[in-house]
Amino acid sequence: MKRRISTFFALILGISLLFSLTASANPAIVSYGSTYSHALSAGQGYAYILPNAKTTGTSVKITTNAANTLQLRYYWNYNNTTLDLGTVIVSNNTYNGGSAYYNPGTLITVVERVPGSTTAYPNVAYTISFN
């Protein structure tokens, strides 16, 4: 029970630290097989939290109307540890990514605007799905 409480506390702490890194990231708990749609303007971000992500592989697909305007920041949380898995710029209208992980945990994907892309594209709509 203590381990479960400390794991939950570490997850909340990690998520709040991630949100402090982004300008205004709204969180959403997501599930496999669902598609989520949003639009982002300058300084906005949206965080997708996938608890119990598959260690055999999780694919992330994002479709947008404007290439090079969105970036994805990936984080992996397990055993009271949050790992920064890196940042990817969505360079095509459709991006397929994801990975397999060694330990069961939570995948956190933060979608943000690419700095400098807001002049040409003030608002960018996208859909994202996890499989």
Give residue 75's pLDDT: 93
Can you give the pLDDT of all 131 residues of the chain as single tens digits?
555 554 544 445 455 544 444 445 678 899 999 999 999 998 899 999 999 888 788 889 999 999 999 999 999 998 889 999 999 999 999 999 877 777 889 999 999 999 888 888 899 999 999 99
* Residue 116 falls in which region: left (phi positive, over 0), alpha (psi -120 to 50) or beta: left
Cα separations (Å) of 83 from 5, 19, 38, 63, 75? 20, 15, 26, 25, 6
2-130: CATH, from 3.40.50.720, 2.60.120.380, 3.40.50.300, 3.40.50.1820: 2.60.120.380
At 100 the pLDDT is: 79
Return the pLDDT at 24.
52
Q: Which of 118, 99, 120, 117 is nearest to 109 (CA)?
A: 99
Partners of residue 107 on adjacent β-strands: 50, 76
Domains of the chain: which residue ranges? 2-130
Proportion of the chain above pLDDT 90, given as a percent: 50
